[in-house]
Structure 1
Amino acid sequence: MTTEEHVVLVDSTGNAIGTAPKTSVHGLDTPRHLAFSSYVFDEAGRVLLTRRAAHKATWPAVWTNSCCGHPMPGEALEQAVLRRLAHELGLVVEHADLLLPGFGYRAVMDNGIVENELCPVYRVLTKDAVSANPDEVDGVLWMPWQEFTEGVGSNLLAISPWCREQLPLLTALGDDPLAWEPAPEDGLPPAARVT
């Protein structure tokens, strides 16, 4: 018997205030909850882009960063990143670097469905081939980082709203994504500081 996945609800200062079933928190009045975004890079500094599955409730069939998701209650964010990378992309990695510990956003789809996430951002490096899970991902594309950021900046590439908001913050870290310095873990919101 499988149990329904729950997400961690957070207040305006990033403290955990409870949990809720994942299926109940993406609607017209989405409560703020804990999530993550990750960017996978290969040795050449190319970023892995994914197209969200067409049946997703939020931003279906939209191109975005490599992998997003939610930690389970009591799960460390880095472990959630590794778990979702394996599930969505078949990538088994040992470590993810924290880059933007305090990132958060709120975005509204044309149909009124809201995303409202406290969403720290991670970088992952891999040499492995991707094996996309069709339940999660409709397509993958490796793209040079500079080409990606320039395409988004000039509106040639349509991407998810959270990815669009993250890009200026990531590019401020430097031109070479492989050389970005990880952020300290103590910058994470309180709800994400699982020991």
Structure 2
Amino acid sequence: MEEVTLVDEFDREVGTMEKMTAHREAALHRAFSVFIFNSKGDMLLQQRAVQKYHSGGLWTNACCSHPKPGENIMQAAQKRLQEEMGFTTELEKAFDFIYRAELDNNLIEHELDHVFIGEYNGLILPDAAEVKDYCFKSIESILESLQLQPHKYTAWFHIALPRVIEWVDIRKGIIVE
């Protein structure tokens, strides 16, 4: 039985719950999302395996998951990146956000999501049980695709992407208005 860490809106732990129960009951729990860019500034996208318990076949960021109760969130993010995409790289904590989204299979994501960003240019060896496909795309291309075909992307990707873009632009010294 896989458990998630329940938290309040300030990321203070308030208990644990079985993962599927948390997603059926919309219990706020801790999660993380990893965004990877290559040296050209293109973002790594993965298409979730069709058999995933929710959002199967949809495109999203490099990887997402939940840390195990008591697990260091940065280490959990690095471990999951290795498990799903077959590589590791240095990650930097960017920001946190809370979102709630109704998904397929009568599940609800209600997560306090810790977002990590890294750069990687090497070999990618995705786990076929987790990932159907992957590619690097420019931000402009992703934004255009999100407008034309929003149903092809995960709910959290729609919410996190503008914040990731803003964070990256600020890090590059570009003023976002």
One-letter identity of the residue aligned with 2:148: N
State the aligned residue count.
Answer: 173
157, 168, 176: which one aligns with 1:163: 157
Q: 1:58 aligns with which of 42, 54, 67?
A: 54
Q: For 2:106, what is the secondary structure of its paired residue?
A: coil
| Matched AA of 2:72 | A
Q: Give unmatched runs, 5+ long, in structure 1.
A: 182-195
What is the CA RMSD across the aligned residues, in angstroms? 2.1
- TM-aligned CA deviation for residue 41 of structure 1: 1.1
User: Which structure features the higher share of helix residues?
Assistant: 2
Provide Cα deviations, 1:112-164, integer angstroms capped at 9, x if missing partner: 31111100111011122111101111111111123212332x33453111110
Q: Cα 1:180–1:146, aligned 2, differ >3 Å: closer, same or farther?
A: farther
Find the aligned partners of 1:122 and 1:174 in 2 and give their Cα distance. Answer: 11
Contact kept? 1:36, 1:81, Cα under 8 Å: yes
Whether 1:83 aligns to 2:76 is: no
1:131: which partner in 2?
Answer: 125
Residue 93 of structure 2 corresponds to which residue in structure 1?
98
Deviation >6 Å, runs of 4+: none
TM-score (norm 1): 0.80
| CA–CA distance in structure 1, aligned partners of residues 168 and 64 of structure 2 | 23
Pairwise CA distance, 1:5? 2.8
Checking the alignment, whether the CA contact within 8 Å between 1:53 and 1:60 is kept in structure 2 is yes
CA distance in 1 between partners of 2:140 and 2:83 (Å): 28
Range with bigger deviation, 137-146 or 155-164: 155-164
Give the Cα–Cα distance (whole angstroms) in 2 for the partners of residues 19 and 163 of structure 1: 25
How far has the Cα of 1:111 moved from its partner?
Answer: 4.4
Give the secondary structure class of the aligned counterpart of 1:168: helix
* CA contact 2:54–2:105 (8 Å) conserved in 1: no
CA distance in 2, matches of 1:85, 1:174: 20
TM-score (normalizing by structure 2) = 0.88
More strand by share: 2
% of aligned pairs identical? 31
Structure 2: any 5+ residue segments left out of the alignment? none
Q: What code does the residue aligned with 2:22 have?
A: V
Q: Distance in 2 between matches of 1:174 and 1:137?
A: 25
Report the counterpart of residue 186 of structure 1 in structure 2. none
